[in-house]
Amino acid sequence: MSTDETPRERVHPDAPAIEIRDLHKSFGDHEVLKGISLTVRPGEVVCVIGPSGSGKSTLLRSVNLLEEPTSGQILIEGIDILDPEVDVDRVRTRIGMVFQQFNLFPHMTVLGNLCLAQQRVLGRSRAEAEQVARDNLVKVGLADREDAYPAHLSGGQQQRVAIARSLSMNPDMMLFDEPTSALDPELVGDVLEVMRTLAHEGMTMMVVTHEMGFAREVGSRLIFMDDGLVVEEGDPREVLANPQEPRTQAFLSKVL
Amino acid sequence: MAMRRSTRRRVVRLALYALFVAVIAVALLTTDWQRVESQFLRWDIAADQFPEIVTIALRNTLLFTLIAFAGGLFLGILLALMKLSSIGPYRWFATGYIELFRGVPALLTIFAIGYMLPIALGIQVPFRPVGSGLLGLILVAGAYMAEVIRAGIQAVPKGQTEASRSLGMSSFRTMMFVVLPQGFRITIPPMTNEFVLLLKDTSLLFIVGTTPFLKELTVFARDEASRTGNSTVLLMAAMLYLVVTIPLTRFAAYLERRLARSR
């Protein structure tokens, strides 16, 4: 990682990384989130599971305001990001986001993908940005592909580039929205390996996933969502082995 | 009579070939080649046109096309962004503008800018007489390009914007560095088309008046044809248009293929 990066000041040093209070979100008449409250402390890996349509992706996307909540509060490192005074673009540089469909910029090389926001948002020089980018490509095991265009990479490689692109902004936390769901089964392992490494390095992570093995092994907490609500929450090993709620039991009996 | 399908197909094809050859042959045989040669292929008249047909006529055609294209592109981007804006009045203005200038003949627009605007509003467009004609062309080209660019922008997947925004890029930077570059790739074929149309539409500029030094290809050819009483110059002008358009469309096709590779 770059050494000249001055750590960004944290306004509230003891605050949780993410704190969500009574979050509601409706699309028209359809209420997708029906009052979610949860806290992610620095260094935690929180995995969110649940049936499709349960609102888990909407919840994750609300954290960096890709979805505008209908009501409730979202505090990032103690700052209420729904406050109209807050510069959302600045908050977003602290939150890395990884998408199911990778969303690499197809008109740029891998290196271009990693450097764009570093230069345009953080104001780093090209040389500085490339240095950071190369360090992160080494980290995801793709140091030799910096000149490739996304179309020439496998899905797994594209997703690892996407992770490196987020990491290049030196975020305080990372959001993963079903990062392996669009991948061929044999490519899932490499991506999970990168995520595992990140978790061990102490990155704060919120992961919407269907990978129960990853949740069990890496997660510090597991959240089961259904129908816009948190149904059950706890230690992943406990919840997966011994779910308390009938809806959790029903869901896990189908996927495990 | 029962004929095998493949045999019948062969007979039909043969008949079509024969018909084609026959029509061409009749045309060639009935043409008075001496008159054609004296009317269209007078080398002495052709030689007389140089260098003016290139240094003035072709140069002006290209210059006017480039100015109108650049102006139209700028206006088109502006209108496309307005049409996609979340602010109602911007959207309505862009929609109304595009409907107006696409629906009205370019000649009428040029005419209106050239004659009506100065009289009605007391506004004089600089670089008379060609300036007002060019402004008319720009206004029309902007309307067409706006639709092309809007379609290009909307063809870029929403995930691209989301990825860019979650990296902290503002909506303006996202548009500039992520959406527009990808949208433009999609617009290369229709934009080439637009360029060719503009190239030909520069021939409408004469309606607001011209001077010997501001003549473009069509008017130059028309004037020379009536001066010499001979059509050789018309043929030369036609060839000069093709000298520009054919390589251009080839280049656009090449560009499209090349950019497609990085997809």
The per-residue pLDDT for A27 is: 93
Residue A34 has pLDDT above 90, yes or no: yes
Q: Parallel, antiparallel, or unpaired: how do β-strands A95-98 and A173-177 relate?
A: parallel
* Percent of chain A whose predicted confidence (pLDDT) is above 90: 92
Interchain CB contact of B177 with A (< 8 Å)? yes
Q: Of A142 and B48, which is predicted with more confidence?
A: A142
- pLDDT confidence of A162, banded at 50, 70, 90? very high
Residue A3 has pLDDT above 50, yes or no: no
Average pLDDT, chain A: 93
Of B168, B177, B178, the CB nearest to A89: B168
Contact A117 B164 (CB under 8 A): yes
CA distance A255 to A235: 18
Under a CB-based contact definition with an 8 Å cutoff, are residues B100 and B143 in contact? Answer: yes
Chain segment B183-208, per-residue pLDDT in tens: 888 898 899 999 999 999 999 988 88
Distance from the A249 Cα atom to the nearest Cα atom in chain B, whole angstroms: 34
Residue A1 has pLDDT above 50, yes or no: no
Distance from the B258 Cα atom to the nearest Cα atom in chain A, whole angstroms: 12
Q: Once rounded to an integer, what is the mean pLDDT over residues A111-119?
A: 97
Using DSSP's 3-state secondary structure scheme, residue A232 falls into strand
User: Which pTM was predicted?
Assistant: 0.79
The residue of chain A nearest to residue B186, with distances taken between CA atoms, is A107
Contacts of B182 in chain A (CB under 8 A): 105-107
Mark B132-170 as b/e (b = at least 16 C-beta within 10 Å): bbbbbbbbbbbbbbbbbbbebbeebeeebbbbbbbbbbb
Strand residue runs (E) in chain A: 18-27, 30-40, 45-49, 71-76, 79-80, 95-98, 173-177, 204-208, 221-226, 229-234
Chain segment A228-237, per-residue pLDDT in tens: 999 999 999 9
Contacts of A120 in chain B (CB under 8 A): 169, 173, 177
Interchain CB contact of B262 with A (< 8 Å)? yes
Task: Examine the predicted complex and report whether its ipTM is higher than 0.95.
Answer: no
Contact B169 A64 (CB under 8 A): no
The residue of chain B nearest to residue A120, with distances taken between CA atoms, is B169
Chain segment A69-114, per-residue pLDDT in tens: 999 999 999 999 999 999 999 999 999 999 999 999 999 999 999 9
Contacts of B170 in chain A (CB under 8 A): 89
CA distance B230 to B222: 10
The per-residue pLDDT for B126 is: 72
The per-residue pLDDT for A157 is: 96
The per-residue pLDDT for B263 is: 54
How many beta-carbon pairs under 8 angstroms link A with B? Answer: 69
Place domain B38-262 in its CATH homologous superfamily.
Answer: MetI-like (1.10.3720.10)
Under a CB-based contact definition with an 8 Å cutoff, are residues B221 and B212 in contact? Answer: no
Chain segment B157-180, per-residue pLDDT in tens: 999 999 999 999 999 999 999 999
CA distance B54 to B75: 30
- pLDDT confidence of A11, banded at 50, 70, 90? low
The per-residue pLDDT for B2 is: 66
Under a CB-based contact definition with an 8 Å cutoff, are residues A142 and A157 in contact? Answer: yes
| Residue whose C-alpha is closest to residue B153's, from B91, B84, B87, B96 | B84
Contacts of B181 in chain A (CB under 8 A): 107
Q: Which residues of chain B have pLDDT under 50?
A: none
**Cα–Cα–Cα angle for B194, B200, B205, nearest 5°?**
115
Contact B167 A166 (CB under 8 A): yes
- pLDDT confidence of A164, banded at 50, 70, 90? very high
Distance from the A89 Cα atom to the nearest Cα atom in chain B, whole angstroms: 4
Tokens of B208: 């607001």
Tokens of B70: 């650049």
The per-residue pLDDT for A5 is: 45
CA distance B10 to B4: 10
First to last CA, chain B: 56
Of A101, A107, A169, the CB nearest to B168: A169
The per-residue pLDDT for A67 is: 95
Contact B173 A149 (CB under 8 A): no
The residue of chain A nearest to residue B182, with distances taken between CA atoms, is A107
- pLDDT confidence of A32, banded at 50, 70, 90? very high
CA distance B150 to B165: 20
Interchain CB contact of B165 with A (< 8 Å)? yes
